[in-house]
């Protein structure tokens, strides 16, 4: 078997039954063999470190939720450590169930386990239907379900789990209530991450992700960074600040914006950011999951930049 024929080794934020596994299944497009061979990791950090170490070639991790915003664990793991590259994204509609071991009566539930990003999305339903139940944080929604299904060791400090329908099925739990999310339109965005190498070819419906680090904190500092996008007609789709850990008040900025690194306006923006930032971490250009084409204004097309560059070249002789 040649290197070209070697199957891509996938991993994902596990265990089995997570929404992340559902996202990977969508990415693999019904390739059951590849999905079955994929390695689950207990945390996002472990999944990304496995890519860095070469244990797997690509991993699927959550990065943003339409209700709770960015996933801090993923953003922080991508902001630091050896650089990685996003190869693509997947959008997964989020549907939660309340699951418990067979025979559990809802009236006996005093604790409910789930992930910290899931709980705020069902808080309203819980307040109405299980007001006496306390929240118990778990590493993932599937981990909450898995612990309930375990037959050995200590029982978890909760009687039910908020998880994906897939997790309830995988771990043989009864579903006590379906569609318990407070927002029926909730969607989570997942990204496929690999080691640095080739960037996906432009499709005309692309997105780029970068992390920007300031030289220092000063008035107008963020505006100086954002002007690099505004003056080139680039639309940002996500902007979040995250602490660098260096000192109190030290933050970096994680940004998604429309366009591909091969676009002239995007290239000029990256040059501008590199000029005014202490550091710029390029995390990839990749096709948008919604495939919505990026529209450039007449003055920011590749042709407009080429004309302007030719004019400057003529002045310089």
Q: Where are the beta strands (DSSP E) in the chain?
A: 10-13, 39-41, 58-65, 69-70, 85-93, 97-100, 111-114, 134-137, 160-163, 174-178, 187-194, 206-213, 236-243, 251-258, 279-287
Over the stretch 180-231, which tens digit does the pLDDT of each residue have?
Answer: 999 988 899 999 999 998 899 999 999 999 999 998 888 888 899 999 999 9
Q: So what's the pLDDT on residue 14?
A: 87
Helix axes of 302-316 and 264-276: crossing angle, nearest 10 degrees:
70
Q: What is the dihedral of CA 34, 37, 40, 45, to 10 degrees?
A: -70
- Residue of higher predicted confidence among 274 and 155: 274
Residue 151 reports pLDDT greater than 90: no
Over the stretch 17-43, which tens digit does the pLDDT of each residue have?
Answer: 889 999 999 999 978 889 999 999 999
Residue 67 binned pLDDT confidence (cut-offs 50, 70, 90): confident
Closest CA to 180 of 101, 125, 105: 125
DSSP string across 162-191? EE-HHHHHHTT-EEEEE---S-TT-EEEEE
Residue 48 reports pLDDT greater than 90: yes
Residue 2 binned pLDDT confidence (cut-offs 50, 70, 90): very low
Q: What is the dihedral of CA 181, 167, 19, 138, to 10 degrees?
A: 80
Q: Are strands 251-258 and 236-243 parallel, antiparallel or unpaired?
A: antiparallel
Residue 311 binned pLDDT confidence (cut-offs 50, 70, 90): very high
CB-based contacts of 157: which residues, under 8 Å, 6+ apart?
Answer: 111, 113, 136
CB-based contacts of 265: which residues, under 8 Å, 6+ apart?
Answer: 232, 233, 234, 259, 296, 300, 301, 302, 305
Give me the percent of the chain exceeding a pLDDT of 70. 98
């Amino acid at each position: 078997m040649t290197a070209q024929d070697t199957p891509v080794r996938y991993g994902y934020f596990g265990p089995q039954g997570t929404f992340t596994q559902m996202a990977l299944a969508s990415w693999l497009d019904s390739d059951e063999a590849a999905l079955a061979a994929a390695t689950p990791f207990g945390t996002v950090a472990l999944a990304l470190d496995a890519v860095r170490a070469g244990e797997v070639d690509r991993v699927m991790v959550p990065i943003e939720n339409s209700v709770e915003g960015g996933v801090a664990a993923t953003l922080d793991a991508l902001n630091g450590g050896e650089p990685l590259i996003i190869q693509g994204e997947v959008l997964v509609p989020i549907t939660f169930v309340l699951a418990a071991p067979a025979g559990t009566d809802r009236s006996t539930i005093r604790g409910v386990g789930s992930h910290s990003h899931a709980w705020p999305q069902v808080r309203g339903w819980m307040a109405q239907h299980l007001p006496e139940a306390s929240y118990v944080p778990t590493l993932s929604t599937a981990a909450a379900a898995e612990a309930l299904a375990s037959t050995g060791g200590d029982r978890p400090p909760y009687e039910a789990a908020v998880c994906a329908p897939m997790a309830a099925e995988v771990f043989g739990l009864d579903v006590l209530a379906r569609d318990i999310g407070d927002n029926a339109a909730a969607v989570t965005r997942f990204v496929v991450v690999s080691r640095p190498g080739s960037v996906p070819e432009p499709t005309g419906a692309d997105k780029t992700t970068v992390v920007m680090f300031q030289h220092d904190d000063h008035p107008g500092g963020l505006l100086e960074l954002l002007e690099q996008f505004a003056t080139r007609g680039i639309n940002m789709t996500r902007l979040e600040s995250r602490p660098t850990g260096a000192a109190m008040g030290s933050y970096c900025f994680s940004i998604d914006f429309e366009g591909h690194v091969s676009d002239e306006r995007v290239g000029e923006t990256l040059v501008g950011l590199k000029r005014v930032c202490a550091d710029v971490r390029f995390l990839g250009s990749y096709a948008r999951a919604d495939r919505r084409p990026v529209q450039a204004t007449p003055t920011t097309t590749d042709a407009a930049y080429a004309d302007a560059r030719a004019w400057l070249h003529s002045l310089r002789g």
